[in-house]
RNA sequence: GGCCCUAUCGUCUAGCGGUCUAGGACGCCGCCCUCUCACGGCGGAAACUGGGGUUCGAGUCCCCAUAGGGCUACCA
């Protein structure tokens, strides 16, 4: 068995899990939790398990399951056990493990550690309301804790559906030893007899989680801090069931820019949305790793392999982080200009299709132009979406001219004439290459007694409609002589039109 | 309300009693490079929440206050 050093304790092979509930898309907080689990597994030669917590029949959907799985795959967070691939400790959907929860619950009842409760949600809500009104903590009062069999039978005969509650000790304390937060102590007296099996027969989160984490032989429970307060309940369950405790590590939460919990109204928060906006998998992973964890050195741009090598829970911070799209965007730009060109081209294709710049089944010419234009322009874009837009003029002729550019470069009375001369020179050029175009342009500028820039800027505007973009001569060489001439003519007409008005 | 966690530049963070006149990154500002825009290079502004302790010495340890977050569901 492989040994792994974690938290200074030598232990058996690491087994960790990501256990999302399929009630929506995978948001960046969940993705980060998944990443940290994955990183611990990969950095220690351990096992990463994916488990779907679909015990909320009201909110769980198959679409969410598919969504989360596809996002994880896209991020490259592959699991060793879980949906689609199975594993030794399956099934990996909690809805398929109900018998296990029932068996264990029965065991707890038999041992006198849990009991049936017949209070209805309405009755409980009324009591809670009452407690709130009188300023008392809204705890379950143990109403059904000592029901006799006759009473149970009577209540059942009334048609009441029972839930199962855990008997929580009224005194003493429960300790959570957390790898990130240290020792956290909770007084049992503030906990109440919480429900472990709902009246519809489904287990609650705190309960199913414990049964499965144990059954799946997990060694480390890495999850968001929102679960820290639930952990004493789970520890109590571990004890009641006679299970050995795993190591807990509660990672800080990721907050929206307004410091509140992430939600839809904060714009893009799901992995899928970031992907649609043109963020690369590598960038999101790199950014997420930096949110709550920090490498020892000063390099922040790091490929996954390096993060895996360096990752440790000891360097995970304790404070909640606000995610900052600006930095993500910067990282994305870095990957855009440093990843293998072919890769960037492939990633840009869907965005070009979306803009209708190339067909759904692009032909050879389209692909070649996409390839060349993307490589020529990628240094200047931060996202794939931006990149696709930035190369759009290579694919279509009828673009508008940038308004400020027109003011600046097309209002000079000599502009049309200069473009005209440039056009003539280009037409006469022996070969239409980057070098020949440049030397011709510079020569023309000299002959006209103007700076090359005075020729270059109007030309760029004429050819692309923009004032920004790649080097003009490279742009022209790629566009080709024919299109250059046509677009120059169009611009000359445009300027003429303008001066008439 | 009760309980729990957290607190360093706008943001992410380094810092694990003296090396901190607090380091890095993003963003911002300026300069350089330059056909524009990016990239790149150089430089700059920018933080230890407040108050008590402990200590020869505190960003670093303790307490209180304050602030933010979480939990307190038949959600996870």
From its phi and psi, is residue A159 left (phi > 0), alpha (psi between -120 and 50) or beta? left
Q: How many CB atoms lie within 10 A of CB A480?
A: 13
Please say if the pLDDT value at position A250 is more than 80: yes
pLDDT in tens, A109-148: 999 999 999 988 888 888 888 888 887 888 888 888 888 8
Tokens of A230: 């639930």
Please say if the pLDDT value at position A448 is more than 70: yes
CA of A176 to C1' of B56 (A): 38
Dist. CA A118–CA A416, nearest whole Å: 88
Q: Which nucleotide is nearest to A160 (CA to C1')?
A: B74
CA of A54 to C1' of B75 (A): 11
Query: Could you give the ipTM of this predicted complex?
Result: 0.95
Q: Which nucleotide is nearest to A456 (CA to C1')?
A: B35
pLDDT in tens, A187-216: 999 999 999 999 999 999 999 999 999 999
For nucleotide B70, give the residue with the nearest CA to its C1': A226
This prediction's pTM: 0.93
* CB-CB contact of A327 with A260 (8 Å): no
Helices (H), A54-139: 62-75, 98-110, 121-133
Q: Which nucleotide is nearest to A176 (CA to C1')?
A: B4
Percent of the residues in chain A that have a pLDDT greater than 90, as a whole number: 77
DSSP element (H, E) containing A485: helix A481-500
Dist. CA A300–CA A75, nearest whole Å: 19
CA of A133 to C1' of B67 (A): 27
Pairing type for strands A195-197 and A163-166 reads antiparallel
Structure-model confidence comparison of residues A3 and A195, the more confident one: A195
Q: Which nucleotide is nearest to A226 (CA to C1')?
A: B70
- Range from A77-91, A198-212, A358-372, A484-498 carrying the lowest mean pLDDT: A484-498
**Residue A62: burial class (beta carbons within 10 Å; 0-12, 13-18, 19+):** exposed
For nucleotide B7, give the residue with the nearest CA to its C1': A319
Please say if the pLDDT value at position A375 is more than 80: yes
Those nucleotides of strand B lying less than 7 Å from any protein Cβ are 1-8, 10-15, 23-27, 35-40, 68-76
Q: DSSP letter at A188?
A: G
CA of A182 to C1' of B9 (A): 28
CA of A184 to C1' of B5 (A): 9
For nucleotide B25, give the residue with the nearest CA to its C1': A300
Q: At A168, is the pLDDT very low, low, confident or very high (cuts 50, 70, 90)?
A: very high
pLDDT at A500: 62
> What does the mean pLDDT of chain A come to?
92
Q: Which nucleotide is nearest to A322 (CA to C1')?
A: B11
Q: Rounded mean pLDDT of A12-22? A: 95
What's the angle, vertex CA A158, arms to CA A156 and CA A162, rounded to 5? 35
Sheet with A182-187: strands ordered across: A182-187, A173-178, A247-251, A220-224
Which residues does residue A348 pair with via DSSP β-bridges, in sequence order? none
Q: At A501, is the pLDDT very low, low, confident or very high (cuts 50, 70, 90)?
A: low
For nucleotide B68, give the residue with the nearest CA to its C1': A259
Dist. CA A455–CA A462, nearest whole Å: 11
CA of A260 to C1' of B68 (A): 9
Contacts of A213 (CB under 8 A, 6+ apart): A17, A221, A246
Query: Active-site residue numbers of A?
Result: 264
- The rounded radius of gyration (Å) of the Cα atoms in chain A is 32
For nucleotide B40, give the residue with the nearest CA to its C1': A379
Full DSSP string of A192-251: ---EEE-TTSPBPHHHHHHHHHHHTT-SEEEEEGGGGGGHHHHHHHHHHHTPPP-EEEEE
pLDDT in tens, A39-70: 999 999 999 999 999 999 999 999 999 999 99
């Amino acid at each position: 068995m492989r040994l792994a050093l974690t938290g200074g304790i030598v232990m058996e092979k690491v087994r960790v899990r990501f256990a999302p509930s399929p009630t929506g898309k995978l948001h960046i907080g969940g993705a980060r939790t998944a990443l940290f689990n994955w990183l611990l597994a990969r950095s220690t030669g351990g096992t990463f398990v994916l488990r779907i917590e679909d015990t909320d029949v009201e909110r769980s959907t198959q679409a969410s399951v598919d969504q989360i799985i596809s996002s994880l795959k896209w991020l490259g967070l592959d699991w060793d056990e879980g949906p689609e691939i199975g594993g030794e400790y399956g099934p990996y959907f909690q809805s398929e493990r109900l018998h296990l929860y029932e068996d264990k619950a029965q065991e707890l009842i038999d041992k006198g550690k849990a009991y049936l409760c017949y209070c209805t949600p309405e009755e409980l809500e009324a009591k809670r309301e009452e407690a709130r009104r009188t300023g008392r903590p809204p705890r379950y009062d143990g109403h059904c804790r000592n029901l006799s069999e006759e009473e149970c039978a009577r209540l059942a005969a009334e048609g009441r559906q029972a839930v199962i509650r855990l008997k929580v000790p009224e005194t003493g304390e429960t300790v959570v030893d957390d790898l990130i937060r240290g020792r956290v102590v909770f007084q049992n007296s503030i906990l109440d007899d919480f429900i472990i099996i709902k009246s519809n027969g489904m287990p609650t989160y705190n309960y199913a989680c414990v049964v499965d984490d144990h059954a799946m032989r997990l060694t480390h429970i890495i999850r968001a801090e929102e679960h820290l307060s639930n952990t004493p309940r789970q520890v109590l369950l571990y004890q009641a069931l006679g299970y050995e405790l795993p190591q807990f590590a509660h990672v800080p939460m990721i907050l929206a820019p307004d410091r509140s919990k992430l939600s839809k109204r904060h714009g893009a928060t799901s992995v899928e949305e970031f992907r649609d906006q043109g963020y690369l998998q590598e960038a999101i992973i790199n950014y997420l790793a930096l949110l709550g964890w920090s490498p020892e050195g000063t390099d922040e741009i790091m490929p996954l392999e390096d993060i895996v090598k360096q990752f440790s829970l000891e360097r995970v911070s304790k404070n909640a982080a606000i995610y900052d799209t600006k930095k993500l965007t910067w990282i994305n730009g870095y990957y855009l200009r440093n990843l293998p060109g072919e890769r960037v081209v492939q990633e840009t294709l869907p965005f070009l299709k979306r803009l209708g710049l190339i067909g759904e089944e692009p032909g050879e010419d389209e692909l070649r132009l996409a390839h060349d234009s993307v490589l020529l322009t990628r240094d200047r874009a931060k996202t794939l979406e931006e990149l696709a837009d930035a190369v759009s003029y290579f694919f279509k002729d009828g673009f508008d001219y940038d308004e400020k550019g027109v003011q600046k470069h097309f209002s000079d009375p000599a502009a049309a004439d200069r473009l005209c001369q440039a056009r003539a020179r280009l037409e006469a050029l022996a070969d239409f290459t980057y070098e020949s175009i440049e030397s011709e342009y510079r020569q023309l500028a000299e002959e006209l007694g103007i700076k090359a820039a005075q020729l270059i800027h109007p030309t760029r505007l004429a050819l692309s409609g923009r004032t920004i973009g790649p080097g003009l001569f490279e742009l022209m060489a790629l566009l080709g002589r024919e299109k250059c001439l046509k677009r120059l003519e169009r611009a000359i007409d445009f300027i003429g039109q303008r001066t008439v008005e």
